[in-house]
């Protein structure tokens, strides 16, 4: 692979980390495996360096990720965050991980961004610059991979817990080392994490073999909504609040559903539309090959990666969003 200048960690970013004593780590709302794995792994690395770290999350960690080591680091109290900032005084550093734009920092975004310096470490192709110093590398499989490189640059040995969290981050964002973002470097890093004692079958069983009967019932209902169009190149599915109620599953249980229609031979883009409790339709897209769903998501004020992207829509029905998206995707597939 050709050397990409952005693969090099900015010196200023390293200097800010070295110089700070109190560090707040943030990630995107509705955090996935990469967001959480990177967060807890980086906290471990920073504590090894003697820093005082606060991992702030807007909401408690989804039960889907309750097996992550160091999950007790997650703090959802804004009051605790504010006190941490007051106690830190001028010696504070904010870090946003795996966050493609500042809106994804969640409800307290304005309060977070007021504090400087604000470092940003991310790998989204659709990244919209924010913060004071950014390290954004869309050629990276995951933010977890970048945190591994940071540990190397900071000369911090990786603990077992840190390795475990980084492995989860990389494994989930690469679709278990299947997506095109999986590079030789990704595999070398994963191999090193196994050397630290991580067992892939254990992580795999937590990620993929722990589902509930309620989730299976929900899957049956969601699969019944499948709608193929554009010569079977686009597959739409949706999940409604009513289906959640009837199945007894939660919205977090839909994780992975969008991969089901993606596995069809003819399908180039799979879409899952989710009706959430506050009148928002959340959309997940997964593509194969050349179709850039991040570009399509941008047209709806969302973002993501070329083959995995999403957006949220307020005040529209699932059917309306589906129709608009079908038009946009059909154009993108031309
Ligand atoms: P998901 O389908 O929720 O797993 O998201 C797939 C990818 O799309 C993730 O990497 C996200 O960064 C991105 N994404 C999802 N939802 C949004 C959104 N509302 N705004 C920007 N990016 C999003
Ligand atoms: Mn993420
Ligand atoms: Mn990521």
Q: What is the pLDDT of residues 157-193, one digit of tens each?
A: 999 999 999 999 999 999 999 988 999 999 999 999 9
Closest C-alpha to ligand 1, atom 14: 310
- Average pLDDT of every residue of the chain: 95
Burial of 65 (0-12, 13-18, 19+ CB in 10 A): buried
Pocket test for ligand 1, best of 172, 259, 270, 303 (most atoms within 8 A of CB): 303
* Phi then psi dihedrals of residue 318, to 5 deg: -55, -45
Q: What is the DSSP letter of 66?
A: T
* DSSP per position, 1-46: ----GGGSPPHHHHHHHHH-SEEEEEE-SS--HHHHHHHHHHHHHH
Q: What atom in ligand 1 is closest to the CA of residue 28? A: 12
What ligand has the least distance to the C-alpha of 257?
A: 1
Q: What atom in ligand 1 is closest to the CA of residue 103? A: 20
Q: What is the pLDDT of residues 7-42, one digit of tens each?
A: 689 999 999 999 999 999 999 999 999 999 999 999
Q: In 65-122, at which residue ranges do the beta strands (DSSP E only) sit?
A: 74-75, 92-97, 118-122
Q: What's the 9 CA to ligand 3 centre distance in angstroms?
A: 17
Q: Which residues' Cβ are closer than 6 Å to ligand 1?
A: 32, 100, 104, 124, 284, 302-305, 308-312
Q: What's the 226 CA to ligand 2 centre distance in angstroms?
A: 26
Taking the alpha carbons at both ends of the chain, their separation in whole angstroms is 30
Q: What's the 260 CA to ligand 2 centre distance in angstroms?
A: 20
Residue 36: Cβ within 10 Å count? 29
Q: What is the pLDDT of residues 211-260, one digit of tens each?
A: 999 999 999 999 999 999 999 999 999 999 999 999 999 998 999 999 99
Q: What atom in ligand 1 is closest to the CA of residue 309? A: 8
Q: What atom in ligand 1 is closest to the CA of residue 255? A: 4
Q: What atom in ligand 1 is closest to the CA of residue 286? A: 2
Choose among 64, 59, 73: nearest CA to 107: 59
Q: What's the 142 CA to ligand 2 centre distance in angstroms?
A: 8
Domains of the chain are: 5-207 (3.90.1640.10), 213-332 (3.10.310.30)
Closest C-alpha to ligand 1, atom 2: 284
* Cβ(123)–Cβ(174) below 8 Å: no
Token reading at 280: 């928002």
Token reading at 305: 């990666």
Share of the chain above pLDDT 90, in %: 93
Residue that the structure tokens 């595999």 belong to: 187
Query: 316-332 burial by CB neighbour count: b if 16+ within 10 A, else e?
Result: eebeebbeebbebbeeb
Q: How confident is the model at residue 202 (pLDDT cuts 50, 70, 90)?
A: very high
| pTM attached to this predicted model | 0.93
- Helix/strand number for the chain, H first, E second: 13, 12
What ligand has the least distance to the C-alpha of 312?
A: 1
What ligand has the least distance to the C-alpha of 303?
A: 1
Q: What's the 83 CA to ligand 1 centre distance in angstroms?
A: 31
């Amino acid at each position: 692979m050709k050397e990409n200048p952005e693969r090099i960690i900015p010196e200023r970013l390293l200097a800010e980390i070295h110089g700070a004593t109190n560090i707040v780590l943030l990630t995107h709302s509705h955090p996935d495996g990469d967001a959480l794995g990177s967060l807890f792994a980086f906290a471990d690395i920073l504590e090894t360096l003697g820093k005082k770290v606060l991992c702030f999350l807007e909401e408690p960690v989804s039960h889907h990720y309750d097996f992550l080591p160091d999950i007790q680091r997650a703090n959802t109290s804004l009051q605790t965050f504010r006190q941490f900032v007051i106690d830190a005084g001028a010696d504070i550093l904010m870090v946003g991980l795996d966050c493609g734009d500042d809106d994804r920092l969640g409800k307290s975004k304005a309060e977070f961004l007021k504090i400087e310096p604000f470092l940003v470490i991310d790998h989204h192709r659709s990244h919209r610059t924010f913060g004071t110093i950014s390290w954004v590398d869309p050629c990276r499989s995951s933010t977890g991979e970048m945190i591994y490189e940071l540990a190397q640059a900071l000369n911090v040995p990786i603990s077992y817990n840190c390795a475990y969290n980084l492995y989860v981050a990389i494994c989930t964002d690469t679709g278990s080392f299947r997506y095109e973002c999986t590079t030789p470097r990704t595999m070398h890093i994963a191999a090193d994490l196994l050397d630290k004692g991580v067992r892939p079958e254990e992580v795999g069983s937590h990620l993929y073999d722990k589902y509930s009967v309620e989730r299976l019932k929900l899957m049956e209902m969601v699969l019944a909504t499948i709608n193929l169009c554009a010569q079977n190149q686009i597959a739409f599915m949706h999940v409604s609040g009513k289906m959640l109620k009837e199945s007894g599953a939660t919205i977090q249980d839909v994780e992975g559903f969008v991969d089901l229609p993606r596995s069809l031979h003819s399908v180039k883009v799979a879409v899952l539309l989710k009706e959430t409790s506050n009148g928002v339709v959340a959309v997940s897209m997964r593509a194969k090959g050349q179709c850039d769903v991040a570009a399509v998501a941008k047209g709806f004020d969302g973002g993501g990666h070329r083959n995995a992207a999403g957006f949220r829509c307020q005040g529209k029905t699932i059917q309306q969003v589906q129709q608009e998206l079908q038009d946009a995707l059909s154009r993108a597939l031309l």
